[in-house]
Amino acid sequence: MTGASTPRWQTGPSLAEPLPMTLRVYQKLTAGFAPLATLLIKRRLKQGKEEAARVDERRGVAAHVRPHGPLVWIHGASVGEVLAAAGLIERLRALNLRILLTSGTVTSASVVEKRFPPDIIHQFIPYDAPRFVARFLDHWQPSLALFIESDLWPNLILASAARRLPMVLINGRMSQRSFPRWRRAAATIGTLLGKFDICLAQSRMDAERFSALGSRNVITTGNLKMDVDPPPADPARLERLMAVTRGRPVIVAASTHPGEEEILLDVHRTLTGVFPTLLTVIVPRHPHRGEQIGGLVEAVGLQTALRSREQLPTAATAVYVADTMGELGLFYRLAPIVFMGGSLIEHGGQNPIEAVKLGASIVHGPHVSNFSDVYRALDDEGGAFTAGDVDALVRRFGQLLSDDHARQTSIDAATAVVERLGGALDRTLSALEPYLLQLQIEQGAADA
């Protein structure tokens, strides 16, 4: 196996280095956070950002017994990172390794429950206070830690390193926006990144940025999201939706953010001059915004229906608000044209790969820094199209709605790009091979 470092457990202890002032101050401040955790939890419960039955996990209190033998701990911030690890988790399970999966959002916990095998242990990541982190690590005693992308909590990383826990940053991403900010805190980020044995970066640019910030053993493995299976859809629900929309042109606006729906409603009203039966499906990134979006639709004189109310679109429905969790696979299969949200505002764009894998022609705004390499490749090959305002969106949607050949050509091009950019899962597993071999040896001894 080429490029991976020797696992830390084989290298012997390294000399302790003094922490930069920023991290020492952070540790002291967060040491006093524990008494305030109750207030934070109460506020987050009111905001729907915590599960009442699981708040103790935020204090590092485990909800499950630790399984026997070696344990691989995988951490991702939210839904996208968790799903990116799906293929990796499947391969690790095939090696008879136990998995602890942590994340920080209610939506990601829901996705794990719906889409992952029941033997995958999910826990909410503890708040980054030394007491909570220590409690978490004392209970789980992970054998290997895999951090996805860039969710780096200082106490969690420093405490794990102090316990000589091998850590690998996988699917590493350092955005153009984040990089200069971290450069201004070079000692801080350099210390944290230096605790990882390997950094597996999504792209050559990400690899260069991680190296510049202090990562060691940086390897470009590609984007794991390219290898993720498309999201599932309930066949009966899909058939019912297709029945009530049959004969109508349909556009899906996926994972939209505030400020985008107003633009998309203007686009819809203009397009209906040529496509009078057009149905626009808006799938908000945060489903709790469904009522608000429904109000925006009604305010411009259009009829709407909300999926959270178990409503289906009728012939009179102009805009269908799909404000439910875990049904993007359903709507990607429903429509041949998908607008990717988070790209008309400076959010950085949402992941287009799942939509491509389900046969959609992609339209997006100009702000796609979160997936810049993917969008650049799609745009260059004609697999996706940039449109930054109402007029441009109207022209692009109009072309794709009226020209079946142009739409299919873009779908074929997008599919070819995603296939070409795949393979990150195999490269990631190759880089992890020394660690996994060691864990398999330990698992065999534990099972004997």
What residues act catalytically? 81
Q: Cβ distance 143 to 355 under 8 Å?
A: no
Q: Which helix (H) or strand (E) holds 170?
A: strand 167-172
Phi then psi for 102, rounded to 5 degrees?
A: -115, 150
Q: Cβ distance 364 to 339 under 8 Å?
A: yes
- How many Å apart are CA 119 and CA 98, to the nearest integer? 8
CB atoms within 10 A of CB 34: 15
User: Bridge partners of 172?
Assistant: 201
Q: Cβ distance 200 to 168 under 8 Å?
A: yes
The amino acid at 196: F
Question: 117: closest CA among 95, 135, 93?
Answer: 93
- How many Å apart are CA 90 and CA 74, to the nearest integer? 13
User: Bridge partners of 101?
Assistant: 74, 122
Structure tokens at 311: 């409503």
